[in-house]
Amino acid sequence: MAASAIVGENLEKYFPPALSGWRAWLHPVAKPTQCALAGVSFAVGSGEAVAIVGHNGAGKSTLLRILATLIVPTHGRATLGGFDVEREGGGARRQLGYHTGGDEGFYTRLTGQQNLEFFAAMNNLQGAEAQRRIAEVTECMGISGELDRQVRTLSTGMTHRLGLARALLHGPAVLLLDEPTRSLDPLAAADFRRLLKDDLVRRRGTTLLFASHTLSEVEEIADRVLLLDHGRLVACDSPARLRASTGAATLEGAIARLARTQAAVEATP
Amino acid sequence: MSALRKIAAFFWRDFAIARGYRGALVLEIVEALFGAATFFYLSRFVESPELERALPAGSNYFEFALVGFAFFDYLNVALGAFDSSIVEARQNRTLEALLVTQTPLAVILAGSAAYPFVALALRTCVYLGWGALFFGFAPRSANWPGAIVILAASILAFAGLGVLSASYQILFKRGNPAKWLVLGVSGLVGGMMYPVAVLPGPLRVVARLIPVTYSLEGMRAALLAGAGWGELWRSLAALMIFAVVLIPLSFAVFAWALRRTKVTGTLTHI
């Protein structure tokens, strides 16, 4: 395997419980007791596409948000492009593009072009270089003809593509996506998957770590699958080997068996 | 890329958004006329020997109140600009997108306040302009460089309070009692509508503990009495002390608050 672009070492994340009323004032300093990640260790090679799967609340988004420097782990350590995401957040952010699968996160009164110019500036791109990168990524996303429209007039799919274009503006080595095709219609989702796998991962060598509930998407894009269950890492292997090791005919079947086995292990006194 | 270029990018972003609401811009200019007119007609009924003694030499109550109201707004904007930028970024979900860019937090905060302060500077000019055009406001002997320096020092001092207010906002999401307390106390004792000298002793002491008092005194002295640097230095020094203490303190508090939201996972919660 190539050098690791992303490494997680014994990552643990606990959140404080939700407090209401006057006690909400104590929330910022409340003791974190609710486990979201429980000692997750993994590595993603450079140029590899890895999917994170698991049921709702398994810890997928928490893991991605730690890597994106948006939250800090309670214990353990993660590096992205060699930079510790907690202590060297600036270095890590130079390496990463982050996009969640929604159509939000834009200044809707501004055009797509104005939005991308603003975020290009935030990523240290300016002038002709910024314009060149905007032209390049929007061409790649198939939205170059829509850039003069205000974002509020764009369809969900278009805004979604604009979001990915934004994440790619500064040419990140690592792309973190949270449910990347969540709000896309089936045809747009298929286009999007091809774009991710063929253009970004295969042709450009971008490292891709994405969370998804769509297992056909996972099989199509991912070289390996990280299966999380209640914050624990249950399995980390290629879809074919997961099927083979569990004797299941489909990835869905393999994941279901692995999750059941994990539940049985946890139930054992 | 320099921080200044990024701050400029924030400014143009906000300018482009504001340009989309041209009607509001026109109404603001008209509203300034109503404000100036209100002070003019109010001033015709406000007369007392005590007030006369407390006003800057050569000025009247209309000029006093017009300058007080126009420049008190800087405190208002400072306390609102930073935390409303966080509220808006949370609501339109741009906060996450901003925080994963290569722009430091301090630049994001400074950038978010750039347009509101520039817009306020223009609004101040409109206010004073209406006063001069229709109601006889005539700062003929004004020390303009002195006024600009006092204004810059005031913005720095107020920005510290604004970032503290944003720290509260980022931690607790809604409401901001500290902000309303600062605005309420400053409105009461800061000398916006009446001179601090007319207040009872204990409130005069409180007035000396807040930056807006020095800001309005300095601004009136520079604009209405044409005070020189020798007379302005006291206000200027006080404002700089507030700035030197408040700015590093507020950024440290904000960094702590941001860190806590990264621990609690509530950074983008609305």
pLDDT tens digits, A57-81: 899 999 999 999 999 999 999 999 9
User: What would the DSSP string read from start to end of A139-183?
Assistant: HHHT-GGGTTSBGGGS-HHHHHHHHHHHHHTT--SEEEEESTTTT
pLDDT above 90 covers a percentage of chain A that reads 51
Contacts of B262 in chain A (CB under 8 A): 70-72
CB contact under 8 A, A125 and B102: no
pLDDT at B180: 79
Shortest distance between the Cα of A133 and any Cα of chain B, in A, equals 16
Residues with Cβ within 8 Å of residue B246, at least 6 apart in sequence: B157, B159, B160, B161, B164
pLDDT of residue B253: 92
Residue of A69, A118, A174 to mutate, interface with B, max B Cβ within 10 Å? A118
Chain B CB within 8 Å of residue A29 CB: yes
Mean pLDDT, chain A, whole residue set: 88
Q: Tokens 């292990």 — which residue?
A: A265
Q: Is the pLDDT of residue A173 over 90?
A: yes
CA nearest B8 in A: which residue?
A: A121
CA distances from A221 to A218, B209, B244 (A): 5, 62, 54
Complete edge-to-edge strand list for the sheet that includes strand A4-15: A34-45, A4-15, A75-80, A83-84
> Which range in A71-85, A131-145, A174-188, B168-182 is most confidently predicted, on average pLDDT?
A71-85
Q: Please identify among residues 210-269 of chain B the ones whose CB lies closer than 8 Å to any CB of chain A.
A: 257, 259-268
CB contact set of A186 (below 8 Å; sequence gap of 6+): none
Residues for chain A: how many in total?
269
pLDDT of residue B186: 87
Given a cut of 80, whether residue A248 has pLDDT beyond it is yes
Res A98: pLDDT:
93
Residue carrying structure tokens 């208002």: B76
Instruction: Give the C-alpha separation, B224 to B142, whole Å.
Output: 6
pLDDT of residue B21: 74
- The minimal CB distance from B93 to the residues A27, A105, A114 is found for A105
Specify the pLDDT at position B19. Answer: 79
- What letter represents residue B36's amino acid? A
Q: Which residues of A43-73 are buried (b: 16+ CB within 10 A; e: fewer)?
A: bbbbbbbbbbbbeeebbbbbbbbbbbbbbbb
A·B CB contacts under 8 A: 99
Give the end-to-end CA distance of chain A in Å, rounded to a whole number: 38
Partner residue facing B101 (CB), from A100, A109, A123 = A123
Considering only CB atoms, which chain B residues are within 8 Å of A16? 264
C-alpha separations of B198 from B52, B68, B104, B161, B210 in Å: 11, 15, 45, 26, 17
Place of tokens 């811009």: B25
Q: Is B97 on the interface with A (CB under 8 A)?
A: yes
* Cβ contact, residue pair A93, B1, below 8 Å: no
Closest by alpha carbon to B76, among B206, B205, B165?
A: B165
Q: For residue A166, give the nearest of B16, B97, B264 by CB distance.
A: B97
Residue of B nearest to A23 (CA): B172
All residue ranges of chain B with pLDDT < 70 are 1, 174-175, 270
Confidence band (pLDDT; 50, 70, 90) for A25?
A: confident
Chain B residues touching A27 at Cβ < 8 A: 264, 266
ipTM above 0.85? yes
Contact A166 B102 (CB under 8 A): no
Cβ separation A126–B5 shorter than 8 A: yes
Question: Chain B partners of A36 at a C-beta cutoff of 8 Å?
Answer: 265
How high is the pLDDT of residue B175? 65
With contacts defined as CB-CB under 8 Å, which chain A residues touch B266? Answer: 27
Distance in angstroms (rounded) separating the CA atoms of residues B58 and B222: 12
- Which 8-state DSSP code applies to residue B209? T
Mind listing the pLDDT tens digit for each residue in B94-103? 888 999 999 9
Q: From chain B, pick out residues whose CB is under 8 angstroms from the CB of A119.
A: 97, 101
From the list B163, B114, B123, the residue with the least C-alpha distance to B15 is B114
Mean pLDDT to the nearest integer, A214-243? 91
In angstroms, rounded to a whole number, what is the distance separating the alpha carbons of residues A205 and A183?
Answer: 26
For chain B, say whether A160 makes contact (Cβ under 8 Å).
Answer: no
CA angle A29, A35, A38 (to 5 degrees): 125
Burial class of A148 by CB neighbour count within 10 A (0 to 12, 13 to 18, 19+): exposed
pLDDT at B235: 92
Residue A175's closest CA among A187, A190, A165, A160? A165
The answer to whether B33 faces chain A, any CB pair under 8 Å, is no
Q: What pLDDT does residue A160 have?
A: 86
Which pLDDT does position A176 carry in this prediction?
95
B140 burial level (CB within 10 Å; 0-12, 13-18, 19+): exposed
CA A218 to chain centre: 13
CB A179 within 8 A of CB A101: yes
The answer to whether residues A72 and B255 touch, using CB atoms and an 8 Å cutoff, is: no
- Predicted confidence at residue A143, as pLDDT, reads 87
| CA neighbours closer than 13 Å in the CB half-sphere of residue A30 | 21
Residues of chain B numbered 3-22 and touching chain A (CB < 8 Å): 5-6, 9-10, 12-13, 16-17, 20
**CA B92 to chain CA mean position, Å:** 25
Closest C-alpha to B219, from B124, B82, B118, B123:
B124
- The answer to whether B43 faces chain A, any CB pair under 8 Å, is no
pLDDT at A268: 66
Q: Which of A70, A123, A124 sits opposite B262 (nearest CB)?
A: A70
**Residue with the two structure tokens 């061409």:** A139
Name the H helices within chain A: 60-67, 89-95, 112-122, 127-141, 156-168, 186-194, 215-221, 239-246, 251-267
Residues of A in contact with B172 (CB under 8 A): 24-25, 28
